[in-house]
């Protein structure tokens, strides 16, 4: 028999979901069969699997140890230090971690061999003793907003299950306000509110902004205001109201103001000049500010607060040279 005591990072999920993570090599049918036969019980009583777990709950597995071990994926790999550096930590509490992601780093893995922000967070929490390898069987810290590989700036991560759930809900419901800085081609002299629809071509991983609703097109909303301009280039503050793939890049390009350094949606010859002069390899787009409303629960420490991530040095240099 093995007894599992539910921790705070394992609470607030269904029993069957927890068991599927813990016995991650077991067929779902096996888990439900063991529940029916009372070989797996919750707090000493028969359970159906749909029960919501609470911290301190007891889950007992009346199974042979070799059976349990057979259904737990064993990872014997030795963790090595990741290449490069952990992104700058902007803020941290027991449930929330805010980072300043550099351009060029993936938010999440695209391929198994990739190194992403999530990997750095996991490694950081392991090395600081905030999670253990055993904890990772049933809970993985994760990010709650994604930035394109070549977009820098604020990434919010949940260190606990409650933090992860509440951050994810806030981004989904748009209760958090997200602001970006970007350098664009042309002169923008007034605040503009853009609406439209975004249609994605999955084959090319490009999106197109259209004005009329079509099948599979998603409504988008972007607001921006000029901060500085010399008539040739403008530094904008962008309020990302919806958060769709490549939204800022495509929306501004469709309005005649493509981002400097953006080869997918921008002006190639102009970008080539910036690459030659500055070695610029990514679009000048930076998630610089995140504002939280009044909150409680796992997000009470960030309630009513705003956090700022400083622009990369190259971004600051180019903006200074061009318009400041």
Domain locations in the chain as residue ranges:
2-70, 88-173, 177-322
pLDDT of 135: 84
User: pLDDT of 99-134, one tens digit each?
Assistant: 999 999 999 988 888 899 999 999 999 999 898 888
For the chain, which ranges sit under pLDDT 70?
Answer: 74-81
The two domains 88-173 and 177-322 share their CATH topology (first three levels equal): yes
Handedness of CA 11, 17, 23, 29 (dihedral sign): positive
Q: Alpha-carbon distance 120 to 156, whole Å?
A: 13
Q: DSSP letter for 14, please.
A: B
pLDDT of 77: 45
User: pLDDT of 201-230, one tens digit each?
Assistant: 888 889 999 988 888 889 999 999 999 999
pLDDT of 80: 60
Topology of domain 177-322 in CATH is: Pseudouridine synthase (3.30.2350)
Query: What CATH number should be reported for the domain whose range is 88-173?
Result: 3.30.2350.10
- CATH architecture for residues 2-70: Roll (3.10)
The full DSSP string for 15-38 is: HHHHHHHHTTTS-HHHHHHHHHTT
């Amino acid at each position: 028999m093995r007894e599992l005591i539910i921790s705070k990072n394992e609470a607030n999920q269904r029993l069957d979901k927890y068991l599927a993570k813990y016995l991650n090599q077991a067929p779902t049918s096996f888990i439900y069969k063991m529940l029916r036969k009372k070989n797996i019980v919750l707090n000493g009583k028969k359970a159906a699997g749909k029960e919501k777990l609470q911290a301190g709950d007891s889950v007992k597995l009346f199974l042979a140890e070799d059976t349990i071990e057979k259904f737990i994926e064993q990872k014997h790999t030795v963790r090595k230090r990741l290449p490069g550096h952990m992104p700058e930590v902007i803020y941290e509490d027991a449930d929330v971690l805010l980072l300043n992601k550099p351009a060029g780093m993936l938010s999440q893995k695209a391929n198994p061999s990739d190194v992403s922000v999530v990997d750095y967070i996991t490694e950081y929490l392991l090395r600081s003793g905030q999670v253990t390898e055993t904890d990772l069987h049933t809970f993985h810290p994760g990010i709650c907003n994604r930035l394109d590989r070549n977009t820098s700036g604020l990434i919010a991560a949940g260190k606990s299950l409650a933090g992860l759930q509440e951050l994810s809900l806030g981004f989904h419901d748009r209760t958090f306000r997200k602001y970006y800085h970007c350098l664009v081609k042309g002169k923008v002299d007034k605040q503009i509110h853009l609406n439209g629809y975004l249609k994605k071509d999955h084959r090319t991983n490009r999106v197109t902004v259209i004005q009329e609703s079509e099948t599979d097109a998603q409504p988008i909303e972007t607001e921006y205001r000029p901060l500085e301009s010399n008539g040739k280039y403008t530094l904008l503050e962008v309020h990302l109201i919806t958060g769709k793939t490549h939204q800022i890049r495509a929306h501004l390009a469709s309005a005649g103001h493509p981002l400097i350094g953006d080869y997918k949606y921008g002006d190639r010859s102009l970008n080539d000049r910036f690459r030659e002069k500055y070695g610029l390899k990514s679009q000048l787009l930076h998630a610089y500010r995140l504002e939280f409303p009044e909150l409680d629960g796992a997000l009470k420490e960030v309630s009513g607060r705003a956090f700022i991530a400083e622009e990369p040095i190259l971004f600051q240099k180019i903006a200074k040279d061009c318009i400041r």
